[in-house]
Amino acid sequence: MQRLNLSPSLEISRIIYGMWRLDSDQNKSTNHINNKINLCLNQGITTFDQAAVYGGYSSEALFGKVIKSNSSLRNKLEIVSKCGIINPSDRYPNVSNSYYDTSREHLIESVEFSLKNLCTDYLDLLLIHRQDPLMNHFETGDALDALIESGKVKEVGVSNFRPHDYSLLQSAMKNKLVTNQIEISLAATQGFTNGDIAYHQERSTNLMAWSPLGGGSLMTDEGILGKTLSKIAEMHDVDKSAVAAAWIMAHPAKICPIIGTNNLDRISKIADAMKVKMNKELWFELYIAAHQAKKEKWRLP
Ligand code: NAP
């Protein structure tokens, strides 16, 4: 598995395992989650994506039980978590409507909550989960800097930010935002032309791609895109999921896909992305098929 430096002190695996769907796995036992983590580690996937809000604020605790049960595990992992979403829940019993909160108070409270549930005393990376229209960038930036200074988080970044919002927050910070986690896949190609990816290339920040298999839709597609994925998968003797991930990783921005399967057999199949030689011709064949699948026009200039 390739590795990538998001900053001089934070190295992550090129493929990340995301835990958004942990809560919907039929088997949520500590033993099963431990097996899942070990399968990832065996593939060289050492970076795990979490969020305070996942599983109705319960997912980090499921992961934390595994960390607690194995004292040598924490040093082998990079843990990413996110904050900033308030949903009506047991955790927020007085809240009736969802909202975003990027205040200092919420950021600090959310990090404390994540650390306690994850049974760790630091996060390798904290992200603001979504762009908050009410963000006071001075307050949010200062709180992120303070969290780094406290040692509770090693690095900070954002998720689902457009370039102008990224730039606004960065302008109020001493530390560098190290990543933006956005949706990128053959089912979500807008970032390649709307400036989202180019912005980060210009600043030498690496992106993380959520839902790299389109949340599974690319795997069940029986149209032109599914057929093209199958054809290229056959050529390389790998699963279609490996081709979909390799397509993202072939981009010079060095984008890191965050995979979300709960199926233990599928983890190694996706990690086979490393075996796929995604040359320009194949990349464009898939890109054009993705446009055709959406009945969008795409032409070589
Ligand atoms: P994904 O890898 O695109 O999709 C995973 C889904 O695809 C699972 O339901 C999986 O089902 C299904 N799938 C995988 N291979 C399949 C196959 N061969 N055939 C049929 N279905 C298949 O990613 P994701 O789970 O949507 O998202 C990945 C991670 O990104 C999340 O865990 C989270 O960490 C992150 N994320 C972040 C944000 C954000 O706002 N920052 C938003 C969404 C997600 P099985 O479990 O049955 O394999």
Which residue's C-alpha comes closest to atom 18 of ligand 1?
A: 219
Are the beta carbons of 91 and 106 closer than 8 angstroms? Answer: no
Are the beta carbons of 259 and 248 closer than 8 angstroms? Answer: no
Are the beta carbons of 185 and 218 closer than 8 angstroms? Answer: yes
- Looking at ligand 1, which atom is closest to the CA of residue 49? 34
- Looking at ligand 1, which atom is closest to the CA of residue 210? 30
What is the reported pTM?
0.96
How confident is the model at residue 294, as a pLDDT?
84
C-beta of 49 in contact with ligand 1 (< 6 A)? yes
Q: Following DSSP, what letter does each residue of 175-198 receive, concatenated?
A: SPEEEEEEE-BTTB-GGGTSSHHH
How confident is the model at residue 108, as a pLDDT?
98
Task: Give the separation between CA 247 and CA 242, rounded to whole angstroms.
Answer: 9
Task: Give the separation between CA 46 and CA 26, rounded to whole angstroms.
Answer: 23
pLDDT tens sequence across 7-36: 999 999 999 999 999 989 999 999 999 999
Strands (E), the chain: 3-7, 10-13, 16-18, 47-49, 78-83, 85-86, 99-100, 123-128, 153-159, 177-183, 206-210, 256-259
Verify whether residue 92 is a known catalytic residue.
no
pLDDT tens sequence across 130-183: 999 999 999 999 999 999 999 999 999 999 999 999 999 999 999 999 999 999
- Looking at ligand 1, which atom is closest to the CA of residue 159? 41
pLDDT tens sequence across 233-247: 999 999 999 999 999
Given the residues 17, 54, 166, 199, the one annotated as active site: 54
C-beta of 259 in contact with ligand 1 (< 6 A)? yes
C-beta of 127 in contact with ligand 1 (< 6 A)? no
C-beta of 189 in contact with ligand 1 (< 6 A)? no
C-beta of 59 in contact with ligand 1 (< 6 A)? no
